[in-house]
């Protein structure tokens, strides 16, 4: 018997959002159709909740949120379920590495977003959630990643080919979606997860059905069970139509 999926976990950038950073009318229509059918549709994003909320509020969603690659899980907008913090000393070391390699960097804290143009003299003065590097120099990214891997205890992914995103070890979108499943009383086998970047791979592998966008990084496509259309071709709507409602829009098989 076909699995009845009860949760659709959606990445934001490059997945639900098109190149203009908007939710298309078609994606919105089918997300709402899934909700009306009793399926939970949740965002699982690398964004901090402060960055994700404008879109969530615009869509009038009251479902759980996995934010900052799993470092925060919200039962609903405004109600925190779980938070996983990054050690301030490790944040200081990652900041020093960014300065050493002269990259753009940013970090999410409970208290706000900090970056190369706005940093703190005392990293221990806030509660850290995630650190990120951005550079178009692939050699710099490779060297930074190699250094971080020697430290251990870190979850290293990306949300774009030109960045690195670092969370506490064991914290990922998969761990966040798992917490949402426990909240809802369902299993990971009842989840559809959709994404496009390395920070989506863990949840794509852990879900009952993992779907990569056609614009996804190649490693994500290899990890997925299926590949849908691009974020500019309403790929999320295709997934919901096919796997929630049993319709058959054009679909690519997984790689």
76: left (phi over 0), alpha (psi -120 to 50) or beta: beta
Q: Is the pLDDT of residue 252 over 80?
A: no
pLDDT tens for 28-49 read: 999 999 999 999 999 999 999 9
Q: What average pLDDT does this structure show over 56-78?
A: 97
Which residue has tokens 């259309």?
229
Q: Are 128 and 114 in contact (CB under 8 A)?
A: no
Q: Is the pLDDT of residue 139 over 90?
A: yes
**Nearest in space to 186 (alpha carbons), one of 6, 1, 31, 4:** 6
Q: Which residues are catalytic?
A: 11
Examine the pLDDT at 2 and tell me if it is beyond 90.
no
Q: pLDDT tens across 218-250, in order?
A: 999 999 999 999 999 999 999 999 999 998 754
The C-alpha R_g of the chain, in whole angstroms, comes to: 18
From residue 156, alpha-carbon distances to 9, 84, 116, 171 in Å are: 20, 15, 20, 10
Instruction: For residue range 195-208, list pLDDT tens digits in order.
Output: 999 999 999 999 99
CA dihedral 144, 145, 149, 150 (to 10 degrees): -30
Q: Which tokens in the block code for residue 215?
A: 């614009």
% residues pLDDT > 70 (the chain): 96
Q: At what angle do helices 138-151 and 88-101 cross, to 10 degrees?
A: 150
| Number of neighbours of residue 183 by Cβ within 10 angstroms | 15
Calculate the CA dihedral of residues 66, 38, 16, 69 and round it to 10 degrees.
10
């Amino acid at each position: 018997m076909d699995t009845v999926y009860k949760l659709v976990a959606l990445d934001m950038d490059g997945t639900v959002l098109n190149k203009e950073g908007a939710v298309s009318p078609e994606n919105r229509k089918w997300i709402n159709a899934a909700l009306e059918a009793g399926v939970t549709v949740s965002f699982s994003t690398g964004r901090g909740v402060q960055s994700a909320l404008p879109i969530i509020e615009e869509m009038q969603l009251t479902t759980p949120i996995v934010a900052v690659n799993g470092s925060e899980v919200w039962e609903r907008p405004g109600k925190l379920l779980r938070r996983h913090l990054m050690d301030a000393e490790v944040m200081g070391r990652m900041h020093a590495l960014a300065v050493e390699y002269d990259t753009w960097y940013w970090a999410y804290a409970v208290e706000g977003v900090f970056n190369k143009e706005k940093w703190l003299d005392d990293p221990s003065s806030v509660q850290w959630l995630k650190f990120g590097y951005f550079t178009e120099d692939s050699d710099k990214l490779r060297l930074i990643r190699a250094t971080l891997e020697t430290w251990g205890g870190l979850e290293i992914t990306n949300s774009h080919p030109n960045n690195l995103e670092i969370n506490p070890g064991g914290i990922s979108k998969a761990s966040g979606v798992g917490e949402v499943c426990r909240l809802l009383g369902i299993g990971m086998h009842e989840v559809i997860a959709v994404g496009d970047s390395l920070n989506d791979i863990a949840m794509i592998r852990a879900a009952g059905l993992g779907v990569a966008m056609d614009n996804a990084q190649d490693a994500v496509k290899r990890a997925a069970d299926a590949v849908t259309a691009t974020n500019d071709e309403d790929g999320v709507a295709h997934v919901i139509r096919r796997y929630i409602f049993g319709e058959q829009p054009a679909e690519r098989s997984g790689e």
